[in-house]
Structure formats: structure tokens, C-alpha cells
């Protein structure tokens, strides 16, 4: 089976690198985007759609919320998105769900948590 593909969207190169290393170690193929605009372009440009998005909220040019709202209107297969943020406020969380996120994680995320939720949302069992 071909590798599942994850698009990591974050303006911090360090965070992208972190997510990449964790997800690649878990066997995923990782692409990166540095803001919502680039992410949207990548999501629309690829032939094989991504299987999951990992989205930061606070980014220049186009933030995570706007990205999700735009993404959810595109004529492409709609796949789950995890929002990662440093905010743990309920308000931020609700706003993420409203925009079309399917999960909300507070940074920094422990590697096994990240992998566990990514597995679930991509539909790979394994442990059960």
C-alpha cells in the first residue's frame, strides 16, 4: 500500500521539521506549506489528494481558520484536518471546529499522541 500523505502547514520551520520527523518515522509521506495560501495551492495542485492536513492557526498571509474555510469549499475530496495551536482556550477550539477542523491539539504535542490521532483520522488501525 502506498504511503499516506500528510500536509503540514505551519509558518515555523522548526515545527514543520518536528512534525515531519515524527510523522515520517511513523511511515507517512509529509509535505509542507508555510501559510494558508501555499497550503491551498498545494492541496489543489496535487493529483493524489492528501490524506490529512495538520494546520497551525497563527500564520502570516492566511491563517489556519481562513485556510480551512477556503479548503472546505474546494471541489476536492474533503479529508480530515487537525488544528494545532498553542492556545488551549475553548473559544479557539470552537472556532477551529466551526471552520472545519476535525481535531484540535495543543502544542507542543507529544509524538505518540500526534501519531495516534493521525492514525485514527487517516483510518489506520494497528493497535486494536
Q: Which residues bind another protein (CB under 8 A)?
A: 11-15, 17-18, 21, 36-37, 58, 60-62, 65-66, 69-74, 77-81, 86-91, 93-95, 97-98, 100-104, 106-108, 110, 113, 116-117, 119-128
Closer CB to another protein, residue 13 or residue 46?
A: 13
Nearer CB in complex with another protein: 47/52: 52
Distance CA 100, CA 16 (A): 21
**What's the residue count for the chain?**
128
Q: What whole-number distance in Å separates Cα of residue 125 and Cα of residue 96?
A: 26
User: Can you say how many angstroms the Cα of residue 118 is from the centroid of all Cα atoms in its chain?
Assistant: 9
Would you say 2 or 126 has its CB closer to another protein? 126
Cell of residue 10, nine digits:
505551519
* Shortest CB 2 distance to another protein, Å: 16
Bridge partner list, 31: 7
Amino acid at each position: 500500500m502506498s504511503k499516506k500523505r500528510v500536509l503540514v502547514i505551519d509558518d515555523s520551520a522548526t515545527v514543520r521539521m518536528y512534525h515531519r520527523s515524527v510523522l515520517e518515522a511513523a511511515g507517512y509521506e509529509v509535505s509542507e506549506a508555510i501559510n494558508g495560501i501555499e497550503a491551498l495551492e498545494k492541496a489543489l495542485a496535487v493529483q493524489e489528494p492528501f490524506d490529512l492536513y495538520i494546520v497551525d492557526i497563527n500564520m502570516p498571509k492566511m491563517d489556519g481558520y481562513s485556510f480551512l474555510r477556503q479548503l472546505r469549499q474546494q471541489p476536492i475530496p474533503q479529508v480530515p484536518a487537525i488544528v494545532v495551536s498553542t492556545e488551549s482556550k475553548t473559544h479557539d477550539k470552537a472556532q477551529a471546529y466551526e471552520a472545519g477542523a476535525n481535531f484540535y491539539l495543543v502544542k507542543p504535542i507529544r509524538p505518540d499522541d500526534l501519531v495516534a490521532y493521525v492514525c485514527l483520522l487517516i483510518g489506520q488501525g494497528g493497535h486494536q
